[in-house]
Amino acid sequence: MKREQLIAEIKKKRSYLCIGLDTDIARIPAHLHQAADPIFEFNRQIIDATYAHCVAYKPNTAFYEALGAKGWDSLCKTIEYIPKECLSIADAKRGDIGNTSSFYAKAFFETLKADAITVAPYMGEDSVKPFLEYKNHWTIVLALTSNSGSADFQTRSVGENELYLEVVKKCILWANTDQLMFVAGATKPELIKKIRQLAPDYFLLIPGIGAQGGHIDDVSDAAITPECGLLLNASRSIIYASQEKDFAKKAAEEAILIKKQMEKWLDKSMA
Amino acid sequence: MKREQLIAEIKKKRSYLCIGLDTDIARIPAHLHQAADPIFEFNRQIIDATYAHCVAYKPNTAFYEALGAKGWDSLCKTIEYIPKECLSIADAKRGDIGNTSSFYAKAFFETLKADAITVAPYMGEDSVKPFLEYKNHWTIVLALTSNSGSADFQTRSVGENELYLEVVKKCILWANTDQLMFVAGATKPELIKKIRQLAPDYFLLIPGIGAQGGHIDDVSDAAITPECGLLLNASRSIIYASQEKDFAKKAAEEAILIKKQMEKWLDKSMA
């Protein structure tokens, strides 16, 4: 999905919500266990109920890999099922030496056919570039993550800047705003502001809304742009809003609540 | 596999070779394409021919994921086939927020039943700790990688030390030598020495021998200990030694050549 189309979808749906499909077999409603593929069945119903209220879905590969080859199959079906109007983001945090990263790029962009993948920056330029060779796809580099461990290395000073800002500074030399985004954790709005200053026109994927404690207003205030420039991700607070048969309906209600908050920011910021 | 057992295997086999099973469907001999699972069949024959000369195998997940669910299945079969006397290392470079990393730990240590996994440090302590909860398994943290991109962030100064040394300093506070190793790229023996100074008793997994240009003598000289403390990985130079029907035999010949060089270092260093 191209940048213009993503922005158009945000305007049309009045939402910059991304729903994290972190689907844990132990937390899905009991009645779904009768389905041939319970994980996919859960995701399918969540997607059907919510796609009008969000612009992206982000399955995290960990939850699927925990189930082995069968889980990988559920992931494939899920990516395929995501409506074309929504961005499909494989939250995989991959990265390896250049030759090997090119196999990851193939795995996620060709075999799995995701629109976007999250990538870890630790191994530097040749680990990121193979993803950028796919011009019609998005590479979303981890800059600042939402967890406590982000203080161990990401916010340490490297010369003038902190490491997460050095990551942003380097990466914007490698790709433009049409195919590169950054992950910036919702739990640190003051630091998101610094990323926005360095990368004024890049989209930021912001996880950590909801269960992890980040606030929509705080991060929108810190980084929304006239083209929106944000994808805010919520996972557990939406997909596990209920563990009963009404789980999809309750997920949609949660998504709508978030979208209502977002409408206000879009009215204020977008032309 | 416990540390004592690994050291005993190194002594017995007179080798600290790890063979990287970076099996690319486009590079395996043509006659194997008739097999039900060509990737597994290639790996099986490589393992049969080489296990007497090495102490570990390291399949890199990228090559398997490029083939989707089918590739994941080949990976499972490969890990299962690796003889118990050899360490099975899933080269996955995973890492995510704590809750998610625990699913990766489950995926690799319970579902896939690998002995060890490589982990990326960028997201800090809570991204690494879920792997360390598996006491009888190994967590191998990326410190210094063998690629050119390692200069982008890893060798930048963070306070007194370079980032890769800060990673080592932090991680040795989280786990002892029974369950933690570090990745240190063979292409930079002078920097491997600095890791060895900070972590004198930890095993180092050293990729980059062979196709990537690292030299066995240089890295052994830099970091071998009285308990060896090294696993040197070669991938392409061994598994693609021939692309004909004799590929497994040629792989064994390459492995033996490397082992011969290692014997000299073991005789000099181990009690």
Contacts of A192 (CB under 8 A, 6+ apart): A144, A184, A185, A186, A204, A206, A219, A222, A223
Q: Which of B122, B148, B170 sits opposite A142 (nearest CB)?
A: B122
Q: Are A53 and A252 in contact (CB under 8 A)?
A: yes
- Residue B137: which of B111, B112, B114, B104 has the closest Cα? B114
Residues 145-184 of B with CB under 8 A from A: 145-154, 156-159, 163, 166-167, 170
Domain contains B175: no
Closest residue, chain A, to B109 (C-alpha)? A66
> Position B185: which residue type?
G
Closest residue, chain A, to B68 (C-alpha)? A111
Q: For chain A, what's the residue count?
A: 271
- Residue A135: which of A178, A185, A92 has the closest Cα? A178
Instruction: Give dist(CA A20, CA B195) in Å, integer.
Output: 38
Structure confidence at residue A239 (pLDDT):
98
Query: Would the CB atoms of A149 and B111 count as touching at under 8 Å?
Result: no
For residue A170, the chain B residues in CB contact (below 8 A) are 152-153
Decide: helix, strand or coil at residue A73: helix
Residues facing residue A229 across a β-bridge: none
Q: How many CB atoms lie within 10 A of CB A227?
A: 18
Query: Would the CB atoms of B142 and A122 count as touching at under 8 Å?
Result: yes
Decide: helix, strand or coil at residue A97: coil
Residues 204-263 of B with CB under 8 A from A: 212
Residues facing residue A56 across a β-bridge: A18, A87
Could you give phi then psi for residue A91, rounded to 5 degrees? Answer: -85, 90
Note whether B30 contacts A: Cβ–Cβ < 8 A.
no
Q: What is the pLDDT of residues A1-53, one digit of tens each?
A: 999 999 999 999 999 999 999 999 999 999 999 999 999 999 999 999 999 99
CA dihedral B138, B141, B147, B150 (to 10 degrees): -170
Range of the domain at B257: 3-155+180-269
Domain contains B167: no
pLDDT tens over chain B, length 271 residues? 999 999 999 999 999 999 999 999 999 999 999 999 999 999 999 999 999 999 999 999 999 999 999 999 999 999 999 999 999 999 999 999 999 999 999 999 999 999 999 999 999 999 999 999 999 999 999 999 999 999 999 999 998 899 999 999 999 999 999 999 999 999 899 999 999 999 999 999 999 887 677 799 999 999 999 999 999 999 999 999 999 999 999 999 999 999 999 999 999 998 6
Query: Would the CB atoms of B104 and A76 count as touching at under 8 Å?
Result: no
Q: Are A120 and B95 in contact (CB under 8 A)?
A: yes
Taking phi over 0 as left and psi of -120 to 50 as alpha, with beta for the rest, B124 belongs to: left
Structure confidence at residue A197 (pLDDT):
98
Q: Which of B73, B120, B127 sits opposite A69 (nearest CB)?
A: B73
Q: Which of B66, B96, B167 sits opposite A153 (nearest CB)?
A: B167
- Residue A118: which of A66, A171, A53, A39 has the closest Cα? A171
Domain contains B11: yes
Q: Which of A70, A107, A157 sits opposite B65 (nearest CB)?
A: A107
Residue indicated by tokens 């993503």: A6
Structure confidence at residue B271 (pLDDT):
62
Structure confidence at residue A270 (pLDDT):
84
Instruction: Give dist(CA A14, CA A137) in Å, integer.
Output: 23
| Segment (H or E) for A261 | helix A247-269
For residue A125, the chain B residues in CB contact (below 8 A) are 148-149, 152
Total domains, chain B: 1
Residue indicated by tokens 């690629």: B147
Decide: helix, strand or coil at residue B225: strand
**What's the pTM value of the predicted model, to 2 decimals?**
0.97
Q: How many CB atoms lie within 10 A of CB B4?
A: 10
Query: Would the CB atoms of B70 and A69 count as touching at under 8 Å?
Result: yes
Note whether B100 contacts A: Cβ–Cβ < 8 A.
yes
The full DSSP string for A126-190 is HHHHHHHT-TTSEEEEEEE-SSGGGGTTTTSEETTEEHHHHHHHHHTTT--TTTEEEEE-TT-HH
Note whether A136 contacts B: Cβ–Cβ < 8 A.
no
Decide: helix, strand or coil at residue A18: strand
Instruction: Give dist(CA B57, CA A200) in Å, integer.
Output: 45
Query: Would the CB atoms of B156 and A152 count as touching at under 8 Å?
Result: no
Query: Would the CB atoms of A147 and B153 count as touching at under 8 Å?
Result: no
For chain A, residues with pLDDT lower than 50 are none
Query: Would the CB atoms of B124 and A63 count as touching at under 8 Å?
Result: no
- CA B16 to chain centroid, in Å, comes to 11
For residue A121, the chain B residues in CB contact (below 8 A) are 122, 152-153
CATH number at residue A233: 3.20.20.70
For residue A127, the chain B residues in CB contact (below 8 A) are 147, 149
Domain contains B160: no
Predicted-complex ipTM score: 0.97
Residue indicated by tokens 């925990």: A66
